[in-house]
Every structure is written in structure tokens, then in C-alpha cells.
Amino acid sequence: MSDPVRLALVGCGGISGSHVAGYRSLYENGCREFRVTACCDPIRQRAEERARAIAQFQDRKPEIYTETGDVIRAGIADAADLCLPHYCHHSVAIRLLEAGLHVQVEKPVGITVQATKLMIEAARKAGCILATAENVRRDLAPRAWTWAIRERRLIGRVHMVVIQSVAFGLRDFDASQFKWRAIKELAGGGMIMDSGAHFADMIQVLFGEPDEVRCWMDTFDRRLVRDAPVVGDRDADVEDAWHAEIRFRKGPEVVWTYANALAGHNLSNAVYYGENGAVLAHGFAFHPFQGGGEAHLADGTTVSNQDVIAQYRATLSPEREQQLFPYGCTQGFAIEVWDFIDAVRTGRTPEMDGEAGLRAKALCEACYESADSGRVVRYRDVLEGQARAYQAPIDEFWHVPAPSA
């Protein structure tokens, strides 16, 4: 495709603002490979707001829609960037794919493994691209620390990873973005499925496929959520505390702890211990290295974030630099949008396609399946759809059929 890709932004709530900031950075750095032609949200004002922001840097204001079907009928988009609540990822994506649009969908792809497989199948049948919008792995510092740990082997073999985030902070169930997030059928799960999806991806980027998972979880904050979409008034039922152990056949033991409804003492740790020292990841522990990092080596020396980034960039050819940091953008949202657009233009596979999104998602689901069954769960069994007792009621609720073999 030589003309700019005509892009529809579908879902104009919270995170779509970061996607628009990504479009803007690309545009301001000279990228003309796409044009946003539509903004769609049932809440018209939200679509208007995003369209107005886009009109500030692009030559034309995108059209406003409140229905995905109208975007399709208007025939003004080749591709769609989906920023939707988890419960409508699969239905909206499949509808667009069947209409011949390429689709990028925010993590955690489908609401269950089965729903995700259905999306992948729909993309294959339509001959369209399904990409996962996963920003964390593409930011400059996460790419640099991934290189430092995997390629440069800065701390040698990694033996143990400790990820802890315990901070008392109850969610505001009056705010629309927390209503759907509090209910299992709408979100698929709590923070494991939300910010946890970034960690589930990065830990596999760093160490490959997990072997097995043991997880405990509970819900301590079961306040009533009023007027949640689809289900109306319901008590919150997704997890707000967990402790998971993730085992790799040839990788570290990972312990992963979270709580947001247990008061009295906060924990915040993200440490990767290897045979030659430890790497500390800064920022939110579930977004590895987004806030940079530092290494403390066994010989008493320290390696700074700046050093690792400089050393990493020195290894990249100009072509690789353009591929990983297109138009000089080093921020994950801009990079994920460009990757999707470039995949649409050239027909290549995006860095994170539906299958890669599914692999990250399956690790989140393995935590739920283990907690639900009280047993250690094999990651492969979850990925292959054999362990799905936790997810089965969600699939039934949304009438998600089993994918064809």
C-alpha cells in the first residue's frame, strides 16, 4: 500500500489519549504513513475530544462515529486501533476483521484464551493483520535492559525475580473506567489481566516460555459497583490481592505479589537477581524498566540506566534503529502504532501479533486457573485451552464458541 493507511480510533476513553499522543509524535517527527479518518465511541463527546486533538497536528479532523458498524459502512478506514473495555475486544475486533479492516487491539487481546483464538482465526480467514497494542516492551529503557540481561548477560544467568506491589488504594467505582474493571465477566480478571498483562509479556520477552504457575488470590474489596455496563449493579469480584510463583524450565523462579486493599505497609520491589549481581527496575513494578533501571554487580560496581541505553544503542545499525525507534520515537505508544501501520503497508507480521498477545495473555490466565483449582497449572495447558475452568463462565456469558481445530 503506497497511500497513507486510513486509521479509525475505536474507543476514545482513558488510554486512547496515549495512542493519540503516539500519533502526534510520529506526525511531528515527519511520519505521513497514516491518517486518522475516524474516531468512534458510544459517548460522542469522547470521540469529539480525541478528533479535536488529532486535528491539531493532522490536516483534516477525523469523522465522529458512535457505532462501529457506521465506521465500516462509511468505508473510510483500512485499519482500526481498538482501545476498548476487555469485554468487547473480541466482538468488535472480529466484526472489523470480517469487514476487511486490519486491527490492532489493546492488551490483553481477547477476554479469554478462547476469545483470543477466535480473533486470531478471524484475522487469518480475512487475510488481515491482528496486532497487539503492547507498549511497555517497546519503550527505549525496556528494550535496552532486555538487551543487557539477555544479550549482554550483564548479571549472568538470572536465578530469581521478585516483583512486589502492595499499596493501599481502593478504586473509585463511581468512575466509568473502574466499573467494568471490577467485574469478572467484563474485565476477565483484575490487575493480573490489566497492568499484569505488561509484566506477563515482558517476563516472556526476557526468559521465554514459562513452564508452570502456582497462584493464590483473593478479593477483599467487594463493594457494590452501581450501574456497570451490561450487568448493572454488582458486587466487585475480581482479585485485588495475589501471590504467584512462575517457573521456567531454563529460567528464573519468579515471585509476583500484589494487593491494593490491604493497608498498613507498602511494598514496592522489582529485582532481577543473577549469578553476577542484581538489576533493579524503576517505576511501576508491573511495567518492567519503563522507569529505567540500574545494576549492582557482585564486584561492587554499578551500571546506570544511561550506560545501558548508550551501550545498547551503539549495537544498533541505522536500519535497526529506524525499525525499533521509527522516526526517532522512543516511546512505546508511538512505536506500537507505527509497527501496526508499517505491517499494514508492507504486509509483514507486526512485532507483537495476535499470537504473541495470546502468549502473554495465557500467563495471566494461568494465574487465574491455578488460583481457581488450588493446583499448580502448566502454562501449555492454559495456552492450548485444556485448563479453562476459571475462563469457562466468561466464555459462556459472551457465547464465545470453541475455535475450530
Ligand X SMILES: NC(=O)c1ccc[n+]([C@@H]2O[C@H](COP(=O)([O-])OP(=O)(O)OC[C@H]3O[C@@H](n4cnc5c(N)ncnc54)[C@H](O)[C@@H]3O)[C@@H](O)[C@H]2O)c1
Of 175 and 402, which has the nearer Cβ to ligand X?
175
Of 86 and 378, which has the nearer Cβ to ligand X?
86
**Non-local CB neighbours of 207 within 8 Å, separated by 6+ positions:** 158, 248, 251, 252
Geometric angle at alpha carbon 25, from 20 and 26, rounded to 5°: 95
Stretch that binds ligand X, among 12-20, 248-256, 319-327, 350-358 (CB under 6 A): 12-20
Least separation, in Å, of the C-beta of 293 and ligand X?
Answer: 18
Residue with cell 466482538: 91
Strand, coil or helix: 189: coil
Task: State which of residues 177, 302, 322, 386 lies at the interface with ligand X (CB under 6 A).
Answer: 177
Residue number with the smallest Cβ distance to ligand X: 13
Stretch that binds ligand X, among 79-87, 235-243, 295-303, 339-347 (CB under 6 A): 79-87
Least separation, in Å, of the C-beta of 298 and ligand X?
Answer: 34
Site track for ligand X across 135-174, x = CB under 6 A: x---------------------------------------
Residue 239 in contact with ligand X, rule: CB under 6 A = no
Least separation, in Å, of the C-beta of 68 and ligand X?
Answer: 5
Task: State which of residues 20, 54, 77, 88 lies at the interface with ligand X (CB under 6 A).
Answer: 88
Task: State which of residues 146, 164, 176, 311 lies at the interface with ligand X (CB under 6 A).
Answer: 176
Helices (H), 127-195: 140-150, 176-179, 184-187
Applying the rule CB under 6 A, the residues between 39 and 58 that interact with ligand X are 40-43, 46
Least separation, in Å, of the C-beta of 248 and ligand X?
Answer: 25
Q: What is the DSSP string of 116-134?
A: HHHHHHHHHHHT--EEEE-
Least separation, in Å, of the C-beta of 353 and ligand X?
Answer: 17
Cα gap 78→97, rounded to integer Å: 10
**Number of residues forming the site for ligand X (CB under 6 A):** 25
CA separation, residue 368 to residues 191, 218, 265, 267 (Å): 11, 11, 25, 22
CA separation, residue 51 to residues 82, 92, 154, 317 (Å): 15, 20, 45, 37
Residue 83 in contact with ligand X, rule: CB under 6 A = yes
Of 166 and 352, which has the nearer Cβ to ligand X?
352
**Helix 16-28 and helix 332-346: axis angle, to 10°?**
70
Cα gap 132→130, rounded to integer Å: 7
* Residue whose C-alpha is closest to residue 214's, from 375, 358, 364, 386: 375
> Which stretches of the chain bind ligand X, using CB under 6 A?
10-16, 40-43, 46, 68, 83-86, 88, 92, 106-107, 135, 176-177, 194
